[in-house]
Structure 1
């Protein structure tokens, strides 16, 4: 590849391939919490200069998926168990508010999109690929959020969903391994029905129960399946 071509790749879309690959590996736990991400090693892996690698890491840091240390090293962000109750508290509020607004303000076009996203989630469950499942789950909930017509609440909710995707991955893993509990499909359908009926209180109730079900199963995972291979900040 010529120097000009390399420069165009660095300034253009070179970082995107690094970003999406690393993001997928972090969310699916292929890259473990606390794992060192060395720019030189990554540049060699992706066969490109360090500039696009650095750009990708900056963007991942913006999503709080990696942490830049004082010695200029970068690590995969730990899963912070100590702050999990506060995370769930914020998630519960955001989920309830966005679902309430969706029930009050949704259009027929919104309903169709929400139903389509639920079909996508159901299809992802059949693949058994947790990353696809967590991404499809996020898109389902964001379709609900956008139906609420409040971009500020939707943006806050999306940030929380992004932060929770690794925990959701562990949640799915736990349910599939133990069969103790159930996936989210039935709850999603109940939420859709409440939104369709414009039943704001029922939508609120279901969104709250949805968060609590996730919380309960993730706590069970932590208690019964703690592994020293995963760094859990306590």
Structure 2
């Protein structure tokens, strides 16, 4: 398993979430490819942590559908699966619809300003074909509703399920197909500014359901 070219990248003991995030991000960005075997010893050397937090992270990643544990054999990066990705997309879309319903009634001007700024950054990143910045800006846009709504269970569920879609988002945000999301975001902001909770919630759901993918991806 080729690991990123940094040994002991975390010099201080990591929280479990940090270990999880590091491995998850390496899967999502393609550093660890589908079907690749993840070896505990190499992960330990890369992250500079003991085996325990690594095994805990791999269990979480298995629940999220990003790795597959083969009992007594190995843990591998899960291959892309269209059916499970579609199922996850439907759940994520529903969660963001709920986030909008919770958030819109309590939004302040600074929330709407943050969404507008995030969408502007999103548009610039797409224009510049900067996939990483586009993903970050998109996360910032949707995080406004998720955070403002204040439902910690919803936040936890999104943290678990969204990474499954990230590989698809990465491909989409590198193409012209993503440009329609800019207009969808703008419409969500407009509806939220009007205080139209139901319409904003539906628009959020449709934004996430507009993420297209094929078995070839």
Fold shared per TM-score above 0.5: yes
In structure 2, the CA distance between the partners of 1:90 and 1:122, relative to structure 1 (3 Å rule), is: same
Match of 1:62 among 60, 63, 69: 60
Is residue 195 of structure 2 the alignment partner of residue 194 of structure 1?
no
Equivalent residues of 1:103, 1:195 under 8 A apart:
yes
* TM-score (normalizing by structure 1): 0.71
Would the aligned equivalents of 2:40 and 2:54 in 1 still touch at CA under 8 Å? no
Aligned to 2:85: 84
Q: Write the distance in 2 (CA, Å) between the matches of 1:60 and 1:121.
A: 31
- Between Structure 1 and Structure 2, how many residues are aligned? 206
User: Are residues 55 and 126 of structure 1, via their aligned partners in 2, closer, same or farther at CA, if it must alter by over 3 Å?
Assistant: farther
Corresponding residue for 2:213?
218
Aligned to 1:94: 95
For 2:101 and 2:18, locate their aligned partners in 1 and report how far apart those are by CA, in whole Å.
Answer: 37
Partner of 1:145: 146
Structure 2 CA distance for aligned equivalents of residues 59 and 86 of structure 1: 23
Structure whose CA Rg is larger: 1
Judged with a 3 Å threshold, the aligned counterparts in structure 2 of structure 1 residues 72 and 119 are, in CA distance, closer, same or farther, namely farther
Task: Tell me what 1:209 maps to.
Answer: 206
TM-score w.r.t. the length of structure 2 is 0.76
- Verify the 8 A CA contact 1:194 1:200 in the aligned structure 2: yes
Q: Return closer, same or farther for 1:144/1:48 CA change in 2, 3 Å cut-off.
A: closer
Q: CA deviation at 1:126?
A: 4.5
1:191–1:206 CA contact under 8 A, matched in 2: yes
What is the correspondence of 1:123-202 to structure 2 with a 5 Å cutoff?
A: 123-173=124-174, 176=175, 179-180=176-177, 182-202=179-199
SS in 1 for 2:173: helix
Unaligned runs of 5+ in 2: 1-7
Residues in 2 aligned to 1:190 and 1:98: alpha-carbon distance in whole angstroms: 16
Question: Quick one: distance in 1 between partners of 2:159 and 2:20?
Answer: 18
Separation in 1 of the partners of 2:201 and 2:44? 47
Stretches of structure 1 lacking an aligned partner (at least 5 in a row): 1-5, 228-234
Match of 2:4 in 1: none
| Root-mean-square deviation over aligned CA pairs | 3.2
Report the Cα offset of residue 210 of structure 1.
1.0
Q: Contact 1:105 / 1:147 at 8 angstroms: preserved in 2?
A: yes
- Aligned partners of 2:126 and 2:178 also within 8 Å: no
Whole-angstrom distance in 1 between the partners of 2:16 and 2:200 = 40
- State how far apart, in whole Å, the 2-side matches of 1:16 and 1:97 are: 25
Q: Are the structure 2 counterparts of residues 130 and 113 from structure 1 closer, same or farther at C-alpha, using a change threshold of 3 Å?
A: same
